[in-house]
Amino acid sequence: MNIHSLIQLLVVIEECKLSKNVVAELEQVLRSYRFDFYGLIKAPRPNTDHMNPVLAGRWPDKWPLTYVAKRYVLIDPTIRYLGRAQRPFRWRDAVVAMKGDPLRRRMEQMMADARANGLIDGYIFPIHGRSGLLGNMTIGGNVIDLSPVEISLFDAVAKKAFWRLLELRDEARSLEEASKTDLKLTKREMEVLNHLAEGMTSMEISRMLKISNHTVDWYMNSIQDKLNAKNRQHIVAIAIRNGLIP
């Protein structure tokens, strides 16, 4: 492993004038570390219209279709863990952290599908701003053990590449200044949201909280409006990606 290539990359990224050059330099270093796949991704923000959250990436051919078709975004352990992570972590660490999750079996199925597509293990580097989680860089493929120094440097590379690509797309300021006020939910709304994420119906939530089914639906509509979500599944997906629920 060549730590110097990571240090040099931090300088080179800043000098790149085109997005494609940033991507090319990043991919070259990732290949040198034998990481086959990666993604630089913006976290979806309520009340914004980011048609494509992926700034750059390369995945196994069939994996994106499988991921979408099986709705893995709703149970992806790495995304759920990302919502509360402040530092880089391994994919395997996210799976262990979700050991007691009621959706554990679905998570295991997802990870089995990932391994079948060559996504055996990897790392995720969260990227935060004043308004919370803004995005992440994930790298993976075969099992690669990075040293603490390499993890720190990759973390710096993730941030540098993320912001440089946004700058070249004239999106950096709007993302950094995005308000988090729309993400603020009341205590009761948070209770309803957490039960929804556990797969409960409105009737089940009403019995759990000892309120009417109509009241649950009222809270649900309020949450949906605040998160600018299309439906209840979209509510959960947005909440997980923005760290409202683990």
Identify whether the C-beta of residue 78 lies closer than 8 Å to the C-beta of residue 91: yes
pLDDT of residue 246: 60
What pTM, to 2 d.p., does this model score? 0.73
Q: Can you tell me the mean pLDDT for 114-124?
A: 97
Q: How many CA atoms lie within 13 A of 46 on its CB side?
A: 27
Q: Can you tell me the mean pLDDT for 168-191?
A: 74
Residue ranges, comma separated, of all CATH 1.10.10.10 domains in the chain are 181-241
Top mean pLDDT of 60-64, 77-81, 98-102 is at: 60-64
Q: Pairing state of beta strands 54-58 and 37-42?
A: antiparallel
Architecture of domain 3-176: 2-Layer Sandwich (3.30)
Identify whether the C-beta of residue 194 lies closer than 8 Å to the C-beta of residue 205: no
DSSP H or E stretch at residue 137 = strand 132-141
pLDDT of residue 130: 65
Q: What angle do CA 54, 55, 57 make, to 5 degrees?
A: 75
pLDDT of residue 49: 44
Q: How confident is the model at residue 41 (pLDDT cuts 50, 70, 90)?
A: very high
Residue ranges, comma separated, of all CATH 3.30.450.80 domains in the chain are 3-176
The 10s digit of each residue's pLDDT in 198-226 is 888 999 999 989 899 889 999 999 998 88
Q: Can you tell me the mean pLDDT for 135-145?
A: 96
Architecture of domain 181-241: Orthogonal Bundle (1.10)
